[in-house]
Structure 1
Amino acid sequence: MKLVIGGAYQGKRAYAEGHDSIQKWANGETCPEEEIFSCEGMVDFHLYLRRLLQEGKEQYVREQLIPKLLQENPGIVLVTNELGYGIVPIDPFDRSWRELTGRICTELAEHADEVTRVVCGIPVVLK
């Protein structure tokens, strides 16, 4: 698994597309929920998590998503925004989403073969 993180509009997707020869990308904002287990790469993973939270699947995300992903699609490239560097949201749902996304990305980074942060189009390899 590879994890590509960074702020909004920092060149994460362009980096991932240029760095890996992926044919099947999924968009986390719009793809069917199960597509994460068959695609080669997913952009907007943070929005995928938001959708699952909106559907009331927080427990599934916290307990089952990562083990299932590691078993069924261990080579996936996940591209996600970093949400924890800005102002803490007033809205309780947005705070919960921000916290969950940070925790899930932390756990994914533990299991990932590579973790790259992209800043202003420049990749910084963290792992």
Structure 2
Amino acid sequence: MKMIIGGAFQGKAAFAEKKYPEIEWVNGADADWNSIQNAKGVVNFHEFIRAEMKKNEDVSDLAEKLIQCNPGVLLVSDEVGYGVVPMDAFDRAYREAVGRICTKLAACSDEVTRVVCGIGTVIKHD
């Protein structure tokens, strides 16, 4: 598993598509679980988490399920834990869920790259 993370609008998707041109990307914003578990690469993975939570799906074991069924996937996700803590309860829960899921996935990833201003820096490489 590999991850590309960073803030919103930092060029993560463009970086990923340039570095891995052979991958057919799934957009997490409109993906279902079946497409995620079979994808080679997922952009907007954080949006998949949001959509699942909006459907009242339990995402507490999402990282473990993804590690089991698709350990070779490349995930591109926003880091949503920076800045002002949202007042809305759903937004706080979403922010925490993304952080917890991505932390677990990063621990199991072979490589994690942070992208800032379109520049990728490898922060983990096994």
TM range (shorter): over 0.9
Structure 1 residue corresponding to 2:60, chosen from 59, 62, 76: 62
| CA distance in structure 2 between the aligned counterparts of 1:25 and 1:75, rounded to whole angstroms | 14
Kept after mapping to 2: 8 A contact 1:22/1:41: no
The alpha carbon displacement at 1:99 in A equals 0.5
Deviates more, 1:88-97 or 1:65-74: 65-74
| TM-score normalised over the length of structure 2 | 0.93
Gaps of 5+ in 1: none
Paired AA for residue 41 in structure 2: G
Query: What is the aligned residue count?
Result: 124
| TM-score normalised over the length of structure 1 | 0.92
Paired AA for residue 109 in structure 2: A
Alignment of 1:43-122 (within 5 A): 43-58=43-58, 61-63=59-61, 65-122=62-119
Q: CA RMSD in A?
A: 1.1
The alpha carbon displacement at 1:6 in A equals 0.4
Gaps of 5+ in 2: none
Name the residue aligned to 2:18: 18
